[in-house]
Amino acid sequence: MPTVIKFDEIEVLDRGGAVRTWPLITSHSTGGAAKVATGMSVYPVGAGAPLHAHNCDEQVLILEGDGFVEVEGERTSLTQWDTAYVEAGTFHRYHNTGEVPMKILWIYNRPDVTRTFADTGITVEHLTPEDQMGGR
């Protein structure tokens, strides 16, 4: 049976620093059937994620806005419809450099995602209260 996610029914997560996230396909939303994790996040002007790495590969599609992805110290500009692919264990971050909120669609190749913050070395489960984007 397919899983259908109604966007207006998704609980929006406050990720800190005014970053908001809408989880889409997750283990929770599919009753444990998901083999991937997907969602959408919105970064306000000037906001970004702290440097981090995941336990899985990540694809990010810029839906709206402008920014950059920094991968192991190298920055690449991104604009609407650009896609970045980052392999598991690679430290990276995204940052909004535009004049409007930057909306991204993120896709991970497994449902049990973790994030390891470069500044502390602490690893947290993705989308938990400890998995904050702002204030770092």
* Count of structural domains within the chain: 1
pLDDT in tens, 12-45: 999 988 999 999 999 888 888 899 999 999 999 9
- pLDDT for res 134: 66
Question: How far apart, in whole angstroms, are the C-alpha atoms of residue 7 and residue 102?
Answer: 18
Q: Answer yes or no: are the C-beta atoms of 48 and 95 closer than 8 Å.
A: yes
pTM: 0.93
- pLDDT at residue 3, as a whole number: 87
In a domain, 46, yes or no: yes
pLDDT digits (tens, 9 = 90+) for 40-74: 999 999 999 999 999 999 999 999 999 999 998 99
Partner residues linked to 20 by β-bridges: 14, 42
Kindly report the CATH number assigned to the domain that includes residue 53.
Answer: 2.60.120.10
Residue 129 lies in a domain: no
- Specify if 25 maps to a domain: yes
Q: Retrieve residue 31's tokens.
A: 């009753």
Separation between Cα atoms, residue 47 and residue 57, nearest integer Å: 23
Domain that holds residue 50: 10-120
Residue 5 inside a domain? The answer is no
* Residue of 7, 3, 20, 12 whose CA lies nearest to 133: 20
